[in-house]
Amino acid sequence: MAEQADVAVAEQAPIDGIAGVDAAALQPVERAYIRALAIRNAMWLLPIAAVASFVDAVILRANDLPWGGLMVASLLLAAIGIFTLPSRAWHKIGYVFGDDALRVAHGLWFRRDTIVPFVRVQHIDVGQGPAERMCGVAYLVLHTAGTHNSIVTLPGLRPERAAEMRDAIRTMIRSDFG
């Protein structure tokens, strides 16, 4: 699965139809997304690790309780969340932007692979969280009329690319009736 994400296809021929989208190789998202994920995880893991370390080194030690374990564990968890998991998550995400549908796949063990035809899109979001802004990546969200699985998110795009995709989908929706 990881190798799949590494196949960077720079410029692809137009991907025609749902069958084309289904058959095409998945494109990886921007590498900067790894950094964005790391920052996002750090924003909540580091404070927790800090509090745990404080409890460990001050309160536990002052009360003559065995100390040191909590600090090591919390710092280890934070390190995994910041340095290991983001790149793994990045490897698992792939997408295909076809002529009339978007395909987003994610997950390694439990894999989910979604196709949304553009004509089914009700409205579109493009946005950035704080961490994503720092790293220059954006997400694209397609909303369909479905009640369940109706929101499909593709993170880790260059902002210009996300806007480009959004505009392409807008045009597709229009031509649906034109």
Partner 1 sequence: MVQTATPPAVERHLHPLSLLVALPRLGPQLFGLLPLLVAISFSGRWAALALLVALTLILSLGAFFLRWRRFVWLVDADAVTIRQGLWSRSERVIPIERIQDVAIEQGLFHRLLGLAIVSFESGGGGEGKRDDARIDAISLADAQQLREQLRQDARQWAAAASAPSTLPSLSDIGADSATHILHRMGMRRLLLSGLFNFSLAAFGVIFGLFTQFDRILPYDPFDFDLWLSLAARLGLDQWVLAHRWLAAVGGLLVVGVLGALTGIIRTLVRDWDFTLSREPRGLRRTRGLTTRTDMLIPRARVQAAIISSGPVRRFFGYYALHLQNLASDSGGDGKAEVDHLVAPCVTLAEVDVILADVGLTRSALSMEGWARPHIAMLLPVPLTFIGIAAIQAAAMGYFAPELWWVSLLLLASAPLAALTGWLDWRLRRWRFDGHTLETLRGWWRSRQVILPARHVQSADLYISPLRRSFGLADLLLGVPGGKADRHRLSYISAAQLHRLRTALLTVR
Query: Among 119, 35, 43, 19, which residue's Cα sits nearest to residue 83?
Result: 35
- Position 129 contacts partner 1 (CB under 8 A): yes
- Position 3 contacts partner 1 (CB under 8 A): no
- Position 32 contacts partner 1 (CB under 8 A): no
Q: Which of 26, 29, 116, 135 binds partner 1 (CB under 8 A)?
A: 116
Touching partner 1, residues 73-112 (CB under 8 A): 101, 109-112
- Position 167 contacts partner 1 (CB under 8 A): yes
The minimum distance between CB 149 and partner 1, in angstroms, equals 4
- Position 152 contacts partner 1 (CB under 8 A): yes
Binding mask 11-30 for partner 1 (x = CB under 8 A): ------xxx--x--------
33: Cα separation from own chain's centroid: 7
Q: CA 101 to CA 60: how far, in whole Å?
A: 57
- Position 125 contacts partner 1 (CB under 8 A): yes
